Each structure stands twice: as structure tokens, then as C-alpha cells.
């Protein structure tokens, strides 16, 4: 599948983006091992989260999709998961694989975690190493999927400092730590998203977090909860930047999660001159939410603070696009983690921006981007959903048609992304290759 995007004058309007992917994964996993029935509203029905749902069903969890985005699941308790009959195919989801590695480490059975070609190329040693320290036994292909997790009911808590800031690894250790004897201590080199900690507390777990250090006693139980999932800020970033780089547009994004461990994208854009207002602030359980009012703005190039990287790790593809439409030069550094995402996102974005006639210098851990106007052309998204969506936004301001190849994986995080753009007046069509 490919996108064909024509230069478009963005209209003003109101957009509701899908539910948060990170929170949807965690709501399923924690609800599955809780006592009682959990209800999840505004669940993300993207392919990644549906893979997590299918894996839990394969381990005996009763899950009902009451409506399109409403899910009810009957928790089986901490020790109620059953051995799956086959491998657990997690598709494109690195989050699911790393979190399941932690959850399954404390079970009394073995399970195999696999995924698509992209997921099979993503490093897993960063989660295997500390889980092994806790007593887990995990087989891999030299640190890459598939993973065979041999559950151990005798895990022990550890004191571990993450070598690289990673919410996925942190969450895997917390899930394993629920089953461990003793306490688990985790120290982060930089702040990462804390959805797991918030949801654990909402489900009755005891843990403390202070100065990037988390302490959690082991052998805890969870109780079911009703969870409303905020709209995903990572997905909202695409219509947000589309509005900012438009000539005349004002867009209201409804019910977006503004957890302070996720708002680096807003801070970076504001430093570039973006006019973004948070309105109607409220809470969905433990998660802060607001409506975001975004107005077309004159963006300027900046040196992006590396200290904000962990607060915006998934948003850099669209931030590269904002930089490409800004006045002057924007410099990104400290982005080495982007090289091991669904694609090498630094290289994929640099290559695509150059294909559209823009001046970009790639560095080891970032890029230097000179603002300009994209030309029409052809971009290969490398099968990366965030790269594909970023170039669809860039194409709205190009001086000719832009074709973006290999966009099927957009459905992992933002079902009907093209429809959301069309609602704002963007001329985008989805076509089979060669059409």
C-alpha cells in the first residue's frame, strides 16, 4: 500500500485521534493478571494492540470487544495464565514483546514470542540481561527474536540501573518484579513514560518513584479497574504539525494524553515558535488529559535540547518534518535510540527528506536540517508507520505530488490516519503499488 498526497491547504477543524498505544497495551496486560473484571474505554484497535489482545486470549484470558473501542476482560489473577498452544505472534510490536518477556518470566510455563521481519531485527538483549539477573531463562537468536521465555516462579528482585532510558525495559522489569521475592529497584538515566507505574497504582500495587528511581515490593496482587484511554499524543503530533506548517489553520485535538513524561514534543515545538494551547485539563484516572488547540505558526530552527529526547522518543520523525518547514537550521542530537526502532528512523527520515529536495546532514546520533519547501517526489517509508505518517504531513506543503511507499503498518498505531487528514482538507489517497 502507498499514499499519494497532493499539496493541500489545510482547513480548520476538530480531530479525535485514536487511543494511546502504550496505555492500551498496559491496560490489557495488567487487567489480565488482576482479580476481577476490567473495562477499557477508547482502546486502540491498531494491529499492535490487537496482537497483545490475541496473545492474552491464547493464554486463557476472556476478553470481549463490547464495541469498536470498548473492551471488557476477566482477569485470571497473578497465576491464572495458561500455556499457549502455539507461538505468540506479536506482529510489529516491540512494546508487546518486551513487556511480555517480563510478564512471562514469572509464570510456571514456557512460551515463544515471535513477530514480523521488522520486529525480528530489533535488539532484545537490553531486556533479556536484567530479566536473567532476576532468575529468568530466555532463549534468543543472539539477542534478537524469536524469544523463548521459560517461566520461573522463583524470580528475585534486583537493583538495576538501565544503561539506556527505556520505558519498555523498565515496564518489563516491573511486570517481572510483581512475581519476585524481595524488592525490585530500577534507576533510569533519564525520565521515560510512566504509564506502567500509574496503572499499577490504580490497580492497587505499592511502589514509589522519586528522582528517576523506582522501588517496588514483590509478590503483589492487582485488582481490576475501569480505564479510559486518552488519545495518543504520539498520534496527535501528526495533525498537530500539519496545522502548524499550514498557511492558515486552527485545529482542536480532543482528549489528548498530556502525561508530563510524554510532552517533550509540545515543548520542542513551542521552542520553535509553535502556538499550542492546552484547554479543558482533566484526569482520566491517573492520566492527565487536555484538548490541544494548535494554530498555524512560523517555526524557526533551534538546537534541540538532548535532555528532551526521552520525553519525545516516538515523535522525532514528525519533528524532523517540522524542522524541514522551519526557517533556519535545526540540529538534533542524542537520538541514537531511533536507529533501532521499526526502522533506522534517523536514516529513513534523512533519506526521505533528501528525496524531496531538502538539505539534510546525517550525524551519528541525529541530523542537521535546513528549512525549505519540499519538492514532489517518491519516498520509501521503510515499512515504518511513523516515517510514513511524517512524510504524508510534509507532502501537504510540497510543491508537487508525493508518493509514500510501504505504508500498511500505519494501522499498527493510527487506523484511518488518511481519513483524519482528509477531514482537514488534505488530498490523500491510498493506492496499491503501481496504481
Is 314 considered catalytic here? yes
Q: Within 13 Å of residue 148, how many CA atoms lie on the same side as its CB?
A: 6
Q: Which residues pair with 287 in a beta bridge?
A: 284
Q: Which residues pair with 405 in a beta bridge?
A: 2, 380
Q: How far apart are CA 395 and CA 129, in angstroms?
A: 42
Which strand ranges, in their side-by-side order, compose the sheet holding 2-6? 377-380, 402-405, 2-6, 427-431
The set of cell numbers assigned to 169 is: 525495559
Q: Which residues pair with 72 in a beta bridge?
A: 39, 64
Chain position carrying cell 486470549: 57
Query: What is the signed CA dihedral for 154, 189, 140, 150, rounded to 10 degrees?
Result: 10
Helices (H), 121-276: 125-133, 167-177, 195-202, 233-245, 264-271
Catalytic residue among 89, 116, 291, 314: 314
Task: Please provide residue 328's backbone torsions phi and psi, each rounded to the nearest 5 degrees.
Answer: 95, -160
Q: How far apart are CA 71 and CA 341, in angstroms?
A: 28
Chain position carrying cell 514509589: 208
Q: What is the set of active-site residues?
A: 314
Amino acid at each position: 500500500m502507498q499514499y499519494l498526497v497532493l499539496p493541500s491547504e489545510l482547513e480548520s477543524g476538530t480531530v479525535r485521534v485514536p487511543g494511546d498505544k502504550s496505555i492500551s497495551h498496559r491496560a490489557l496486560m495488567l487487567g489480565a493478571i488482576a482479580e476481577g473484571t476490567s473495562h477499557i474505554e477508547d482502546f486502540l484497535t491498531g494491529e499492535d494492540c490487537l496482537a497483545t489482545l490475541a496473545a492474552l486470549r491464547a493464554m486463557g484470558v476472556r476478553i470481549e470487544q463490547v464495541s469498536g473501542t470498548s473492551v471488557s476482560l476477566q482477569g485470571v489473577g497473578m497465576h491464572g495464565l495458561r500455556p499457549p498452544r502455539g507461538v505468540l505472534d506479536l506482529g510489529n510490536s516491540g512494546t508487546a514483546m518486551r513487556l511480555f518477556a517480563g510478564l512471562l518470566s514469572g509464570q510456571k510455563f514456557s512460551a515463544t514470542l515471535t513477530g514480523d521481519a521488522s520486529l525480528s531485527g530489533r535488539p532484545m538483549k537490553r531486556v533479556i540481561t536484567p530479566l536473567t539477573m532476576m532468575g529468568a531463562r530466555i532463549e534468543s537468536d543472539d539477542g534478537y527474536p524469536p524469544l523463548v521465555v521459560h517461566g520461573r516462579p522463583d524470580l528475585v528482585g534486583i537493583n538495576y540501573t538501565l544503561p539506556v532510558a527505556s520505558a519498555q525495559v523498565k515496564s518489563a522489569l516491573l511486570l517481572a518484579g510483581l512475581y519476585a521475592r524481595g524488592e525490585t529497584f530500577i534507576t533510569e538515566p533519564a525520565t521515560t513514560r510512566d504509564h506502567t507505574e500509574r496503572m499499577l497504582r490504580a490497580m492497587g500495587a505499592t511502589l514509589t518513584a522519586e528522582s528517576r528511581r523506582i522501588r517496588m515490593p514483590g509478590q503483589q496482587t492487582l485488582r481490576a479497574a475501569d480505564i479510559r484511554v486518552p488519545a495518543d499524543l504520539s498520534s496527535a503530533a501528526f495533525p498537530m504539525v500539519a496545522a502548524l506548517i499550514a498557511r492558515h489553520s486552527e485545529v482542536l485535538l480532543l482528549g489528548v494524553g498530556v502525561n508530563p513524561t510524554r510532552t517533550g514534543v509540545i515543548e520542542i515545538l513551542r521552542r520553535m515558535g509553535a502556538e499550542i494551547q492546552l484547554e479543558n485539563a482533566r484526569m482520566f484516572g491517573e492520566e492527565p488529559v487536555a484538548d490541544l488547540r494548535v494554530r498555524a505558526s512560523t517555526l524557526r530552527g533551534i538546537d534541540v535540547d538532548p535532555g528532551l529526547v526521552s520525553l519525545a522518543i516516538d515523535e522525532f520523525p514528525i519533528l524532523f518534518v517540522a524542522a524541514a518547514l522551519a526557517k533556519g537550521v535545526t540540529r538534533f542530537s542524542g537520538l541514537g535510540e531511533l536507529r533501532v526502532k521499526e526502522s533506522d528512523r534517523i536514516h529513513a527520515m534523512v533519506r526521505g527528506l533528501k528525496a524531496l529536495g531538502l538539505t539534510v546532514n546525517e550525524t551519528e546520533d541525529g541530523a542537521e536540517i535546513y528549512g525549505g519547501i519540499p519538492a514532489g517526489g517518491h519516498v520509501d517509508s521503510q515499512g515504518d508507520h511513523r516515517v510514513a505518517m511524517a512524510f504524508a504531513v510534509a507532502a501537504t506543503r510540497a510543491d508537487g505530488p508525493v508518493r509514500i511507499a510501504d505504508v500498511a503498518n500505519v494501522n499498527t498505531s493510527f487506523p484511518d490516519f488518511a481519513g483524519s487528514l482528509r477531514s482537514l482538507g488534505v488530498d490523500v489517497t491510498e493506492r496499491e503499488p503501481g496504481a
